[in-house]
Amino acid sequence: MDPELAKVREWAQAELDELREPPWATGRYHHLIQAIDRILAPRAAPAEKSPRANVIQFCTARRRSPLPRR
């Protein structure tokens, strides 16, 4: 599958380089190239970080005021 994706990426890059397409189409070629790069990147180099390394969790719970003691 990797050789086919590489061929599609080369084709999309060639279409961009020719500058014949309208602006809306060039944006789609850019998205296609970026998507293929993301698909092929993990196979080229193993990930050093865990997949959740860039996830930040916020605690949105509000503290309740302490109840008065009886």
pLDDT at 11: 93
Q: 59 versus 47: which is more confidently predicted?
A: 59
Other C-beta atoms lying within 10 Å of the C-beta of residue 12:
20
Asked whether the predicted pLDDT for residue 18 surpasses 70, the reply is: yes
pLDDT of amino acid 52: 61
Averaged pLDDT for residues 21-25 = 86
Determine the length of the chain. 70
Would you state the pLDDT for residue 55?
A: 63
Mean pLDDT of the chain: 78
Amino acid at 12: A
CA 52/CA 69 separation, integer angstroms: 43
